[in-house]
Structure 1
């Protein structure tokens, strides 16, 4: 931990910046969890869905469209996220860290500033995710509607995190309860 990733508050207490990342299938509860994590003081939330909906309205129709726009977004945000972490501000990324390559980006973020990190893995079955997805689609509150066919197509790319990737992994069950320690 470097002094650059710590901040001193008004009464002189040191706060350590933490990068929070989430991994889980569509409708596993990532946004719900990140909203809860972002309630902490000195914490900023970035929501990929919100950024993508604003920057690329009606441009994402295929997995390839998504991958292209998501890569652009990550490129633009990298230095900003690292600057926040270096300033002692914790960052919660509501981005799907669902593949080894997206997790490599997350790894590079916390390594560059030597800050703490957590990879929150929501281990939820397809059946539960699809049920939640239908409810979410009906509510109309999410910026994107995802069909069951799209869910299946996107989920083919999902790879659960492995300890060998070097993350501090926190595993959650379908109810949102932690079912493994933060320091795996």
Structure 2
């Protein structure tokens, strides 16, 4: 049974596509809780995430803690914006499991953007120092190689948005 009054919002897109900005916008309502992976990782593991294996290790630890917490928030009648990159099928299935166990609807917000648009936005973001994570172009390319666009048959409600250069 699904509770239609609350939702688990998920964000998917390449680095600098606008996931965190969208997540903040989605959480403007007081009944919506925002949980941002980059914030948690930067505070729990300062100076420990320098490689993709470091990120995978620390992110796995955080997900194991957050899973029950997010489910409890949803079951308490709140909506949650999970600002963790839903960029692989395995991560999306983990997220789908949370909404299924909580009995709430989900919405995967997929921001479609080209590498060129994302890199331009990344350079501006890095120059402004406005984000906890400031990857280089090489790190962008390395992480983008893991990106898998969502498919309809994954069981998630997908909302696609094309992202263009401003």
TM-score w.r.t. length of structure 1: 0.87
- Which position in structure 1 is the counterpart of 2:25? 36
Residue 81 of structure 1 corresponds to: 70
Which residue pairs with 1:53 in the alignment?
A: 42
Give the structure 2 partner of residue 113 of structure 1.
Answer: 102
Provide the C-alpha distance between the structure 2 equivalents of 1:113 and 1:50, rounded to a whole number of angstroms: 24
Q: Which runs of at least 4 in structure 1 moved beyond 6 Å after TM superposition?
A: none
What SS does the corresponding residue of 2:156 show, helix, strand or coil? coil
User: Which structure has more RCO (C-alpha within 8 Å, separation ≥ 6)?
Assistant: 2
Please state whether the residue corresponding to 1:116 is helix, strand or coil: strand
Stretches of structure 2 lacking an aligned partner (at least 5 in a row): none
CA RMSD of aligned residues (A): 1.3
Deviation, 1:41, is 3.3
Distance in structure 2 (CA, Å) of the matches to 1:97 and 1:22: 6
Q: Using the alignment, how far apart are the partners of 1:24 and 1:45 within structure 2?
A: 17
Q: Which residue of 2 aligns with 1:69?
A: 58
Which residue of the other structure, out of 26, 29, 34, is the alignment partner of 2:15?
A: 26
Of 149, 152, 155, 1:166 maps to 155
1:64 partner SS: helix
Q: Is the CA contact (8 Å cut-off) linking 2:111 and 2:163 kept in structure 1?
A: yes
**Match for 1:140 among 114, 125, 129?**
129
Q: Secondary structure at the match of 2:22?
A: helix
TM-score normalised by length of structure 2: 0.96
Post-superposition Cα deviations, 1:84-135, rounded to whole Å, max 9, x if no partner, equal 1011100001110000111011011001011011000000110000000000
